[in-house]
Every structure is written in C-alpha cells, then in structure tokens.
Amino acid sequence: MTSTGRVAAVDCGTNSIRLLIAEQVAGGLRDVHREMRIVRLGQGVDATGEFAPDALARTRAALTGYAELMRRHDVGAVRMVATSAARDVSNRDEFFAMTSDVLGTVVPGAVAEVITGAEEAELSFRGAVGELDAAAAPFVVVDLGGGSTEVVVGSGEVSAALSVNIGCVRLTERCLRSDPPTEAEIADARAVVRDALAQVLEVVPVEQARTWVGVAGTMTTLAALAHGMTVYDSDAIHLSRVPFDALLPVCADLLAMTRQQRAVLGPMHEGRVDVIGGGALIVQELAAMLGERAHISELVVSEHDILDGIALSIV
C-alpha cells in the first residue's frame, strides 16, 4: 500500500468492465475515481464456449486505460475479478495472460481472478447494503449482470445466495434475436428465466426479505427511465425507490421497442441498447416472484455493488 492508502477494484463482467479507485478514510472508503466501459467480453460465449478475439482486444484496451488511471492516482493495491463469462470458457488462459501483462505494470504479479457465483453474491451484497438502514432488513439483493444473476438474502451478513446463468446478454443471444423480439421469442425467454428463478426459490428464502435492492447497469437504467430522467444522473439514482407500478411499464415498453427506439432514450448507454430488453424481462419475473413470495412492491436501486465489495475486500 502506498502512502495515499489508495486501492483499485476492477469488475470484469459479461457486458462491462468497471473501475473503482478509492482511498481509506475513517469509517470506510472514499471514491477517487469510478468508471464503466462496455466491452462485451461475453460476446458469443453462450454459443461458442470461448472468448472472441475482438472481445479480448476490447477488454485489453479498456484495462490498459484503467491501468494508466491507477498509476496516475498512485494506487498501491489492486484486485480484479472476473465473473460469469470467464467461468467456463475454453480459452480463459488468454484472458489471464492479458490481465497479467496489463495489471503487472501497476502492481507486479497482479492478475485477474475468476470468482464463484457464491463469492460474487457475497461481494455484491456487501457493497449494496452498506449505506442502508438496518431496520429495512432482511434484504434481497439482486445483481443482474450480462451472463448471470445473483440473488442474495441477508441482514448484516449473507444468509443464503444463488447465482443462476441468466443475464441480459446471455438471454438476448439465446432467445431474443429479432428486433423487436417476437412473442414466441419472449415466451421462450420467459420460460428460461422462470426455470432459473425456480432454482433460486429452492435455495434462497426470498419470502424473508423486506427490501429488494437492485444493482448493476440494467437496474440503474430501468430506474432512470422510470424516474423520467432525460440524462443519467448517478447521484439521483443511488438509493432511489421505484414502485412496481412505475417499473413494470418501463420493462414492457423496452421489450416491445426496436433497438433504434431504445437508442434515443436519454439515460440509455449505447452498450446496453441491444440487451436491455432481456434485462427488463428478467426484472419483470423477479418482481412477480418477490411480489408473490415476499409481498414487496418497490425496488431500491443502489449504485454501490460488487465493485465496492471488491474494494472493501482489499483493505
């Protein structure tokens, strides 16, 4: 650790790669720099079982930029985790070699690590609930990513969690191929999601939860649209509440839109345009499950998630 006490956390998911540089202060960490880039590392992974060369090149370019920021901000420790897309690919050695080359310029010997779904769930939970009132517990935290979705229940600590292989990229590539998706494609996708959530219900007692906390880009984008934002405002999004009667119409509209129609929505990041419909469908099914099982009627959206949990795990 350098005299600045600064750490860097990198979360490399199926759709995006994100960086948090933070410094230790009394009571926790303070943001120095936070950034997200869409690299679509998981492009085609569900079908081919390997990273595409273009996807690795995009990820390397983004990580190289992050390494420069780490050096500029005098980072003394770094942890990079890779999640769903990197768990089962046949050529992940290429990915590890690339991350070693790039991160080694900041901290010798640094390399990405692939974490399990359980580890991903725990880090997401820790990052998401740190600022929430304990009186609102137990929480059900949902980290909806590109390749997987983690559902976690807990209060001060995780009591149960499961990671399932449904995410906005994976579901779109597998089922929602038309623009806009056809009724048959949507029905197929809904069946896939319901099967996955049935697995969740066998392991995670969601009926115990009092508060639903959603993290990651799909959730925050849906919240921005539900709040009627014309420009994405992370400060206004963080810890905002979205009643289901505002959330679900947004999900339905996104599923019915063409990519061109989604692209002109003010808060929409261009890298989410083609996959946000899949994410919206997953949120619809989560809302139905949590409404029925836990009588929850709103979503609380947190900008703090696995990235913050990674940073906290370093110090």
Q: Tens digit of pLDDT for each residue in 152-183?
A: 999 988 999 998 989 999 999 999 999 999 99
Mean per-residue pLDDT for 298-307? 93
Q: What is the pLDDT of residues 76-88, one digit of tens each?
A: 999 999 876 677 7
Q: What is the pLDDT of residues 268-283, one digit of tens each?
A: 999 899 999 999 999 9
**β-pairing verdict for 139-144 and 149-154:** antiparallel
Q: Does 192 have pLDDT greater than 80?
A: yes
What are the tokens at 178? 């038309």
Q: Residue 76: beta bridge partners?
A: none
Name the average pLDDT for the chain.
Answer: 92
Cα 228 from chain centroid (whole Å): 22
Q: Residue 23: beta bridge partners?
A: 6, 30
pLDDT band at 2, cuts 50/70/90?
very low
Could you name the CATH architecture of 6-114?
Answer: 2-Layer Sandwich (3.30)
Q: What is the pLDDT of residues 94-141, one digit of tens each?
A: 999 999 999 999 988 888 888 887 888 888 898 899 889 899 999 999
Contact indicator for 22, 224 with CB cutoff of 8 Å: no
- State whether CATH 3.30.420.150 applies to domain 130-306: yes
Among 130-144, 196-210, 280-294, name the one with the lowest average pLDDT.
130-144
Q: Does 4 have pLDDT greater than 80?
A: no
Counting Cα atoms < 13 Å in the Cβ hemisphere of 54 gives 5
Among 39-43, 66-70, 206-210, name the one with the lowest average pLDDT.
39-43
What are the tokens at 305? 């998630």
Among 119-128, 227-236, 254-263, name the one with the lowest average pLDDT.
119-128
Domains 6-114 and 130-306 belong to one CATH topology: yes
pTM for the model: 0.84
Residue whose token pair is 């880009």:
217
Pick 235 or 130 by higher pLDDT.
235
Give me the residue spans of the domains in the chain: 6-114, 130-306
- pLDDT value at position 1? 43
- Return the percentage of the chain with pLDDT > 90, whole number: 71
Residue 315 and residue 313: Cα distance in Å, rounded?
6
